[in-house]
Each structure stands twice: as C-alpha cells, then as structure tokens.
Structure 1
Amino acid sequence: MLLVLNGPNLNRLGLREPGIYGAQTLEDLERQCEAWGAELELSVTCRQSNYEGQLLEWVQDAEEQGFTGIVLNPGALTHTSYALRDAISGQTLPVVEVHLSNVDAREPFRHVSVTAGVCRGKISGLGFTGYRLAMEYLAEVMGALA
C-alpha cells in the first residue's frame, strides 16, 4: 500500500506556472497514480497539503496506517524543512522524493534538498513519469522486504 504525498502549492497544478509544471492538474496526477498503482497491484492513497505539520503527521503515521512506502513531493519544503527531514528519518518506510521540474536547472536555492538525504532516492524533472518510476521502485523494494 503506497502513500503519495504532495506538499505546498501542488494543489495549483495546471494553474501555477504551466510553462514549468504543465497544464495537468493535481486531480489528473492523482488519477494517474491510482491507475499506475492498479497496474502494479498496489493500493494507492494520494494526499496533498499546504501545511508542513500535516505532512509531518502523515509521514509519521504512515506505517501505523498500513502503508509500506511513500512517494513524496515536498514542494518548497524540500529546501527548508528540517522538521520534514526528521519525520522521514524517524520512521522506517522507504521514501522516494519526486519533483515534477528539474530543480537542478532552476534557481540556485532549489538545488539544495534537505530531505533527499534521508530518502531512498530522488527523481527530478520527469513530470508525472517521475511518480510512476518512484512507484515502480517502491513496489520492487517492498517485494524484496516482504
């Protein structure tokens, strides 16, 4: 069972900077993740919040709620949230950080992720496909852990 978490401003997909993030919406992304989950024979739950504390609680509670892996797009919290970093490192589930845009080709402040170092991996710049790759990786890892 996978948890897909999207952080601040991702609820504005399709409206916010479509030249960078594309014209598809968060709802489009969530439907796509659910479809990919079905192909991988995994239950997928998608959540989005603009609030750091809510994301922390979801990460902290994920294992107790039966999830076996997390796909996480922390949005701008990637660069600033040591609290989110600590929440990731303080639990045992594998986490893959995902970014729609190539953060390393953007503004210098986006080049540093405080969360990636405690994740299994980071996928950046592949749009929605990055989520699929993260899900495939987690399905493989979770199978190996079972």
Structure 2
Amino acid sequence: MRDIAVQVNSDFDGRLKWRSRYLVHRARRRGRTGLLLQVDLRDPPRSMSLKWCLVSVTESGRQLCSVDRTSIRKVRFIPLPPGPHPLHLEVTRHRKRRSTQAQQNVVLGQGDILLVTCDPVQPNVFYRRSPVVDTWSAQILQADPNA
C-alpha cells in the first residue's frame, strides 16, 4: 500500500451539510467568531476494519475538535477569539505512515467564520468513490459589515 498525500485548497466547492448551514446562520446571527469543521466520513460506525481515521484540528498543541466514525455529529463549531491562529489539520490512522498533516495560518476578524472541510481517504468504501488524497478546504466567511 502506498502513502496517502494531502491536498489543501483555498476554494470551497459549496457542498455544505444542513447542520453546517444552520451553525453558520446561528453564529452570524449572534455575531460569533470561530471555526466550523465539516468532515465527510462514509465509514460505517460498526465497521470492523482497521482502516479507521480520526480527523482533528489543533492550535498550538491544544486540540480544538476531533471527529471519527463514532462521533454523532460530523459538523462542529468552535468559538475562537479574533486574531491570528496557527492551525494544525491532521488525519490520524491506525498505521502512522498513512496519517497526514497540514498547517494553515489564518487571521480572523470580528464575526468571521473559518469554514474547514475534510474529505479523507476511506479505502473500504464501495458505494461512493473515495478520493485518492486527504482533501482539505479552508475558507474564511467574512462578517457582514451591514449587520
């Protein structure tokens, strides 16, 4: 088996889950600044495979959030203070050499939301094609100045 690569895009393809749209709307209505993590895991929770993965976001050694196949919700909103944030995006797997990491430095203004989506490689999925690389996208949703 070959190693897994990682790809980080600055553009977003526009596919938000219903819960993500709801959390963005609620955060904007309350004027909150933060990070919204959406993970597209297609691995069933009762799978007996060792091909599990854990998707996590950390900042300066402090874990902000993580999602795995046993998580009830695959979408998380984490409030962050405005300012610079050095984020560490990571997909951890059973085999360490197949784990991937990426760094993302962002500067958030008051009311901005960092939308981070992850589509990790899931080799045992047969009902929808899995990507060949761990695909991350990160985009800052600017606060509405008229609000």
Q: TM-score, normalised by structure 1?
A: 0.28
Task: Answer with 1 or 2: which has the greater Rg.
Answer: 2
**Larger % of strand: which?**
2
Q: TM-score, normalised by structure 2?
A: 0.28
* Structure with higher RCO (Cα < 8 A, 6+ apart): 2
